[in-house]
Chain A
């Protein structure tokens, strides 16, 4: 199959590649300099500490080099990106109050419908700002806070100041520094002690403009013995020029609390997706990352758990799918700081039609973290000889009284499995989708039904695009 045909197929199978006309309140000039950073802070009318935080982060961004590992970042033109687009004056509580183009976009994605059926609260971010928000009254009555990050900063300045940038410091990497200087939007969540939120909270991130940079910032604080499941989805139009999505997510899991964070990443294949996500977990707390990467041109994302106190547990389920022109460099990190902490990283990746997946992981057990246990399993399915998968596991085990299991299989069984199924009369396309959905089944079956259905649908769309 020719490259052009691949691209056409990808485009036709990507159902969210449409765009609507721009009619925005504010659009910054292209490119990044100190003035742009100041302008963003000015428009948002922020406290001085945040303005200074941004400016200092900007200096860090300038100083830091691009990572010399992972995917090819050399083609990102930081001067050719819009860093701040404000689509509407303020966040709406009703979808009807939004401009028709934006409302229709979310309708086509299906967010309002999902909200009615199975969500406890929703945030919709369009370009740089959160433009829609809802939360069940029963939850706000219990003290649950679910706001856009900007609104969170206004209403809970002390709480934000206490935690912002403490889990992912701006200097962590070049892109966390970039996000820290130009961040806009994202979610701010506080779950009070003992409150368990049964239905998920969801945020949906949409890029509409070409050459857009989206830099949302999310902070979740789960107080003792609480539970929240946060789900994020995203998509963008298919353009011939590149866009950049670079988020920072910080999560505080307090004693005995549990946070599950599910990502269904479905960016169009012209989006660089470079995201830093990290959770700090206190005693007997549980952090679960469920990370699906199906879209984007290049994703570099390794959700992390820092197990700070005894009994803390972290789980990372990473699922990556790379088709033509895509590179998914994904995985996870678990850092055992305290004794008797446990972690599990399970990664599954599928590459086809010349796509590339990389598993990149870190398991670190610090001195003194006795009795810690960890299991890392990564498994790659390569469906044809044009596609590629690599594994980069790093283990830093600095304590002897621990239990560590590691299994890595990068297998080209795809071709043998295909032949086996075809030899029983099953046509190629059907055989491919059987193998792929079977391969991811152990992960999908751990998801709530609605997301399992969504994920299977995305995988089927990807497979549709793959059949010439």
Chain B
């Protein structure tokens, strides 16, 4: 088991975490290999977003026990930017607005920080072309980061960042919430392009089943009260859709 963790992309072992003194995660175990899509489902308040915040290193979330190992390295003590440099990316549920910093300038700074160097002419072309594929009008790149973006535009901007930074691990925190069917398709296409292009492992946190029709999960995990209550293959999602979470709780 120990020796095999280094070949895995992400191994979460016995993870406990709290926010504001309250324990939310009560021993989570989860393993993701490169290229796999893991759907993480569960009722409100079960700890899904907490897991996402702990993985990305949000300062208000504190891991109290367990390990989070990315390609053989425990990342729990690392700062958010160090984790990003190792290839962790979270598409946030509520991306914050940052006045005065254009989306393009932000992408450029992030890319330079993660990759260490940057070929400006190539970079500009690549960003424009990816934005186009996400049906984002070019003026979004010069607009202030997320400021005045609609819900759907914010989510597209998250996916654009993900594609540009080409991380190893993608955490999607309810990216599908608040998207209409067209936007959902565009966003899902973006994720599937990323899979083809750089084969990340994906932790897909969602409430809904419709996104799983566009991004097919290899595994489905159900988080209830801070623990994985059950898990299985894609067919588990169908069962949940028909019967809800009641039967899992028992």
- A424: interface (CB < 8 Å): yes
The answer to whether B100 and A419 touch across the interface, beta carbons within 8 angstroms, is no
- B64: interface (CB < 8 Å): no
The answer to whether A438 and B99 touch across the interface, beta carbons within 8 angstroms, is yes
The answer to whether B100 and A424 touch across the interface, beta carbons within 8 angstroms, is no
A225 smallest CB distance to B (angstroms)? 35
The answer to whether A419 and B58 touch across the interface, beta carbons within 8 angstroms, is yes
Task: Tell me the bound Cα distance from A347 to B109 in angstroms.
Answer: 28
The answer to whether B59 and A441 touch across the interface, beta carbons within 8 angstroms, is no
The answer to whether A437 and B81 touch across the interface, beta carbons within 8 angstroms, is no
The answer to whether A413 and B144 touch across the interface, beta carbons within 8 angstroms, is no
Task: Tell me the bound Cα distance from A437 to B109 in angstroms.
Answer: 14
The answer to whether A417 and B98 touch across the interface, beta carbons within 8 angstroms, is yes
Task: Tell me the bound Cα distance from A254 to B97 in angstroms.
Answer: 42
The answer to whether A419 and B59 touch across the interface, beta carbons within 8 angstroms, is yes
The answer to whether B99 and A423 touch across the interface, beta carbons within 8 angstroms, is no
* Residues of chain B lying within 8 A (CB to CB) of residue A417: 96, 98
Q: List 24 A-B contacts (CB under 8 A).
A: A413-B96, A413-B97, A416-B96, A417-B98, A419-B59, A420-B96, A421-B98, A422-B57, A422-B80, A422-B84, A423-B80, A423-B81, A424-B81, A424-B84, A424-B106, A424-B114, A424-B165, A425-B85, A425-B110, A425-B113, A426-B113, A428-B81, A430-B109, A434-B109
Chain A positions 394 through 437: 1 when the CB is less than 8 Å from some CB of chain B, otherwise 0: 00000000000000000001011101111111111011001101
Query: Which applies to chain A's interface (DSSP): helix, strand, loop or mixed?
Result: helix
- A442: interface (CB < 8 Å): yes
Chain B positions 58 through 71: 1 when the CB is less than 8 Å from some CB of chain A, otherwise 0: 11000000000000
Given A430-B109, A438-B144: A423 and B100 interface contact (C-beta under 8 Å): no
Assign chain A's interface to a size class: 20 to 34
* Residues of chain A lying within 8 A (CB to CB) of residue B85: 425
Which residue from chain B places its CB closest to the CB of A423 in the assembled complex? B80
A92 smallest CB distance to B (angstroms)? 42
Assign chain B's interface to a size class: 20 to 34
Of B83, B100, B106, chain A has the most CB atoms within 10 Å of the CB of B100
Other-chain residue from B84, B97, B109, B144 in contact with A423 (beta carbon distance below 8 A):
B84
* Residues of chain A lying within 8 A (CB to CB) of residue B98: 417, 420-421, 434-435, 438
A128 smallest CB distance to B (angstroms)? 40
B residues 69-115 with Cβ under 8 Å of A?
79-81, 83-85, 89-90, 92, 95-101, 106, 109-110, 113-114
A258 smallest CB distance to B (angstroms)? 27
Add 16 more A-B contacts to A420-B95, A425-B85, A435-B101 (CB < 8 A): A413-B96, A420-B92, A421-B98, A423-B81, A423-B90, A424-B84, A424-B106, A424-B113, A424-B165, A427-B81, A428-B79, A430-B109, A437-B100, A438-B98, A439-B99, A440-B100
Task: Tell me the bound Cα distance from A442 to B147 in angstroms.
Answer: 13
Other-chain residue from B58, B59, B79, B110 in contact with A424 (beta carbon distance below 8 A):
B110
The answer to whether B99 and A441 touch across the interface, beta carbons within 8 angstroms, is yes
Task: Tell me the bound Cα distance from A416 to B146 in angstroms.
Answer: 13
Given A424-B161, A428-B79: A438 and B96 interface contact (C-beta under 8 Å): no
* Residues of chain A lying within 8 A (CB to CB) of residue B50: none
A426 smallest CB distance to B (angstroms)? 5
Which residue from chain A places its CB closest to the CB of B109 in the assembled complex? A426
- B56: interface (CB < 8 Å): yes
Task: Tell me the bound Cα distance from A143 to B54 in angstroms.
Answer: 69
The answer to whether B59 and A415 touch across the interface, beta carbons within 8 angstroms, is yes
